[in-house]
Amino acid sequence: MATALAYEQFDGVPDADCDARIRAAKEKLGARAVILAHHYQRDEVFRHADFSGDSLKLSRLAASSQADYIVFCGVHFMAEVADILSRPDQVSILPDLAAGCSMADMANYAAVRRAWKELAEISDPDARVTPVTYINSSAALKAFCGDHGGLVCTSTNARHVLEWAYKQREQVLFFPDQHLGRNTAYRMGMSLEDMAEWDYSRPLGGLTPAQIKRAKILLWKGFCSVHQMFRPEHIDAFRQHHPEGKVISHPECSFEVCQKSDHVGSTEYIIRTVAESPAGSRWLVGTEINLVNRLQQRFQDEDKIVQFMSPMACMCSTMFRIDPQHLLWTLENLVAGRVVNRIKVPAAEAESARVALNRMLDVSP
């Protein structure tokens, strides 16, 4: 195979030229390539997606895709999921390898394995604890869950996953996002006293053996930096000025924000709820700004007002690294018969991770 076209040839291409050349490359590739884009992706890239959605939807699309090449305009763990769930002959590609996830980085295999060993000092975790990893995690952690009777969850199906987990064992170790775990468990009827935060930087998570045994769910001390921008006082100010307005938040937001919200749910839930609301309604939305801006534009003809919760703009900076230039570079190399930035999960790891992901898909409505 010939040497790939260097990215430096694309770095300075104006966005308008990128747009035209991306469309031309897509036409040449036809059904051989499919572009998946997460809802948080920037508009200049999002517009070229063949399919868009949240993590669960995109996981299912990756599993069912017939294309030779899956170009994932998201972050690294999403492209890993596409590789794990797609056919062996398909190629998963991430246009920019720097597109990671700070939340996913808060839980690595070594830290989770250490926590598991520490739990074994108290009781047998393989008999007592179901490990559940948020899809925002590495393939290695998905494989860990697959090997230890656990599974993956998304913000869409977290409740169904936890309900399944508690049918297997009495306790859950939930990583890496504490807020999704806490908000989901609380809505299932658990009290805050049933939950314990596992500080992965401290022995035994900073907990006593008694605290660990008492907890129904152990919440890894991880978080999404974007969703931590939103504060309860932002909601208070909105309600003071717009008492008729509604507040909707992603479950990666803090417990206090979610408690003050009228609705809490995944990106797909947020989109559907705003879409089904009456014309002229007003919404304060606690999730990534690209999605919020897209909702405002989509529903402005219905006189709906959709505003970002924080007074400070905050985007998913790692996903933002995938720009039109990187997408163009990826596609024109494919047209020339070259693959750049392939994401390939090692076979053994992929097999175990697939077990955890398929368990998730099996329990998802």
Q: Residue holding tokens 């999960």?
A: 345
Section 288-304 average pLDDT = 94
Asked if the model's pLDDT at residue 203 lies above 60, the reply is yes
pLDDT for 20-30, tens place per residue? 999 999 999 99
On whether 38 is known to bind a ligand per the annotation, the reply is yes
pLDDT of 317 > 70? The answer is no
Same domain, 42 and 115: no
Where do runs of H (alpha helix) occur along the chain? 15-29, 43-46, 55-64, 76-85, 109-120, 125-128, 139-147, 158-168, 178-187, 209-214, 232-241, 255-260, 267-276, 289-299, 324-335, 347-363
Quick check: 280 pLDDT over 80? yes
Does 267 count as an annotated binding residue?
yes
Query: Per-residue pLDDT averaged across 332-353, rounded?
Result: 96
Shared domain for 260 and 279, answered yes or no, is yes
pLDDT at 316 over 80: no
pLDDT at 129: 98
Whether 116 contacts 322, CB under 8 Å:
no
User: Does 59 carry a binding-site annotation?
Assistant: no
Q: Indicate whether 193 and 111 sit together in one domain.
A: yes
Please check if 224 is assigned to a binding site: yes
- Known binder of ligand: residue 225? no
For residue 326, say whether it is annotated as part of any ligand binding site.
Answer: no
Please return the burial class of 16, using the count of CB atoms within 10 Å of its CB with bins 0-12, 13-18 and 19+. Answer: exposed
pLDDT at 134: 96
Give the pLDDT of residue 42. 87
Per the structure block, which two tokens stand in for 310?
A: 């924080």
Range in 45-49, 61-65, 263-267, 332-336 the model is least confident about: 61-65
Q: Which residues contact 4 (CB under 8 A, 6 or more apart)?
A: 333, 338, 339, 340
Query: What pTM was estimated for this model as a whole?
Result: 0.93
Question: Which structure tokens are listed for 39?
Answer: 């809802």
Same domain, 34 and 109: no
Q: What is the DSSP string of 94-138?
A: -S-TT---TTGGGS-HHHHHHHHHHHHTTS-HHHHEEEEEESSS-
How many distinct structural domains can be found in the chain?
3
Residue 318: predicted pLDDT: 73
pLDDT at 179: 98
DSSP H/E element including 70: strand 69-73
Burial classification of residue 347, based on how many CB atoms lie within 10 Å of its CB (0-12 exposed, 13-18 middle, 19 or more buried)? exposed
Does residue 162 sit within a domain? yes
- Residues 95 and 74: their CA atoms lie apart, in Å, by 9
User: Given a cut of 70, is residue 1 above it in pLDDT?
Assistant: no
Q: Looking up tokens 């859950």, which residue turns up?
A: 172
Note whether 264 and 249 are within 8 A (CB).
Answer: yes
- Which amino acid is residue 193, in one-letter code? E
Residues 109 and 219 in one domain: yes
Share of the chain above pLDDT 70, in %: 98
- CATH code of 299's domain: 3.40.50.10800
Q: Classify residue 143: in a domain, yes or no.
A: yes
Tell me the mean pLDDT in the region 194-207: 97
275 CB neighbour count, 10 Å cutoff:
12
Cα–Cα distance for residue pair 153/361, rounded to 1 Å: 9
Query: Average pLDDT for residues 36-57, to the nearest whole number?
Result: 89
Question: Hey, how many other C-beta atoms are within 10 angstroms of the C-beta on 87?
Answer: 11
Residues 147, 234 share a domain: no
Distance CA 282, CA 26 (A): 38
Is 155 among the annotated ligand-binding positions? yes
pLDDT at residue number 315: 62
Q: Is residue 220 part of a domain?
A: yes
Interval 92-151: pLDDT, tens: 999 999 988 888 889 999 999 999 999 999 999 999 999 999 999 999 999 999 999 999
Tell whether residue 305 is among the known ligand binding residues: no
Q: Is 134 annotated as a binding residue?
A: yes
pLDDT tens by residue, 54-86? 877 887 888 888 899 999 999 999 999 999 999
Asked whether residue 360 is domain-assigned, the answer is no
Last residue of a domain, one of 170, 203, 224: 224
Comparing CA positions, the residue from 313, 315, 175, 197 lying closest to residue 255 is 197
Q: Specify the pLDDT at position 321.
A: 86
What single-letter DSSP state applies at residue 173? E
Rg (CA), the chain: 21
Task: Verify that 232 and 268 share a domain, yes or no.
Answer: yes
Whether residue 179 is annotated as binding a ligand: the answer is no
Q: Is the pLDDT of residue 314 over 70?
A: no
Residue 251 is assigned to a ligand binding site: yes
Domain that holds residue 152: 104-224
Portion of the chain with pLDDT greater than 90, in percent? 84
